[in-house]
Structure 1
Amino acid sequence: MVNMQEVYIPAERLKLLKSNHDLLKRLEDTCNCHLKISQGNSIEIEGDAFDEFNAKNILYAFGRGFSIEIAEKLLNDEFYFTFIDLADYAKNKNRRTEIKARLIGNNGRTKKYIEEVSSAYLSIYGDTICFIGKADNIAEAETAAKTLIEGGSHRLAYRRMEAAHKRYRKAPESKEV
């Protein structure tokens, strides 16, 4: 019996896959699956259950704005994908746009700083803020993102993220007896 999964990809992201057959082939080889672009902006995934699961996660992350190279990090068991839906925090479209602008910052500086300190990858796409990284890294990045979403200053967001970074980086073996 052949398994099959299907994942929806936003039209503009699907267009990137359609225009780059090497990218689709690379993903098929990496995940050991057959991928078929079907009607309605979706991709059918055929393979064994585990390979389909991996391909679906990578395609979903790609669809949320990550490059395939970053999305492929999800093949590593230590990496996770999470997201914040801005509709949960702001019902008004203008407010969601403002939040996204605050998270990106001037010339992308805020986003870059969050990525540098936390070592998590961020994608701000549509009405979502998505993260790929190790659990602690994502927690640090989410600390900064949620502070900005809730209206806190950039300084406060950075301070909270840096404090979380120090907390998570304390090695248990460094404690003296």
Structure 2
Amino acid sequence: MTQHVKIPQDRIGVLIGEGGETLRRIEREAEVSLDVDSENGAVAVEKTGDPVRGLKGPDIVRAIGRGFRPDDALSLLDDDMRLFDTIDIDRAARNDNDLRRKKGRLIGENGRTRELIEELTGASVVIYGSTFGVIGGPNEVEIARSAAEMILDGAPHGAVYSFLERKRTEELKHQGMDYHEYHG
């Protein structure tokens, strides 16, 4: 069964990679066949091997299309529990100025907010175009998504950071560690 994914024009080169290297790696590791229409960004993804691995193929392509590096997108294959999710920032924005402001709040000064979301959740996070993208385990994705939604709803950064730290501490306790052991 073939699935169709559309990615932005400026991400086609990243998907294909130098000399087609990235495309072949995705095909090999995800056990899919990719047919890329470089005119319009349409990508046909067809499973060729293990159906479970093949199910991740469209998400790998979508993740690269949403700004993730190919290695981060391919991490979706690391185990069955890794997920890719996006938030459409444009939907939360009233106009172009509001979109820029909301994106800026998600990124933070010198990228610090995005980095803290990654650091405190363990997920990979990208803000690209008008989307917030996240790759991680189910809990990591859920917490990163909640933090992003808080920021988009106008919550102060300090409140979001406190939320993230509290969730991180809960997760570490669940794993039998405390925050100080984790941070050394």
- Normalising by structure 2, what TM-score? 0.84
Distance change in 2, residues 1:73/1:19 (3 Å): closer
Tell me what 2:153 maps to: 150
Structure 1 Cα separation of the partners of residues 31 and 137 of structure 2: 24
Question: Counterpart of 1:131 in 2: which secondary structure?
Answer: strand
Tell me what 2:88 maps to: 85
What aligned pairs does 1:126-141 form with structure 2 within 5 A after superposition?
A: 126-141=129-144
Question: Counterpart of 2:15 in 1: which secondary structure?
Answer: helix
1:19 Cα deviation from its structure 2 partner = 5.1
Question: Counterpart of 2:80 in 1: which secondary structure?
Answer: coil
Tell me what 2:22 maps to: 23
Tell me what 1:42 maps to: 42
Tell me what 1:59 maps to: 61
Identity over aligned residues, as a percent?
Answer: 31
Q: CA RMSD in A?
A: 2.0
Structure 2 Cα separation of the partners of residues 46 and 141 of structure 1: 30
Tell me what 2:181 maps to: none
Tell me what 1:70 maps to: 72
Structure 2 Cα separation of the partners of residues 172 and 119 of structure 1: 14
Aligned residue pairs, count? 172
Structure 2 Cα separation of the partners of residues 172 and 42 of structure 1: 42
Structure 2 Cα separation of the partners of residues 41 and 158 of structure 1: 37
Question: Counterpart of 2:27 in 1: which secondary structure?
Answer: helix
Structure 1 Cα separation of the partners of residues 130 and 175 of structure 2: 38
Question: Counterpart of 2:93 in 1: which secondary structure?
Answer: coil
1:91 Cα deviation from its structure 2 partner = 2.5
Tell me what 1:12 maps to: 10
Structure 2 Cα separation of the partners of residues 137 and 19 of structure 1: 29
Q: Would you say the 8 A contact 1:81–1:131 is kept in 2?
A: yes
Runs (4+) of structure 1 moved beyond 3 Å?
48-52
Structure 1 Cα separation of the partners of residues 46 and 175 of structure 2: 44
Q: Would you say the 8 A contact 2:9–2:41 is kept in 1?
A: yes
User: Which one-letter code corresponds to 1:129 in the other structure?
Assistant: F
Structure 2 Cα separation of the partners of residues 84 and 35 of structure 1: 25
Question: Counterpart of 2:22 in 1: which secondary structure?
Answer: helix
Tell me what 1:168 maps to: 171
1:125 and 2:138 correspond: no
5+ long unaligned stretches in structure 2: 178-184
1:23 Cα deviation from its structure 2 partner = 0.8
1:148 Cα deviation from its structure 2 partner = 1.4
Q: Would you say the 8 A contact 2:2–2:45 is kept in 1?
A: yes
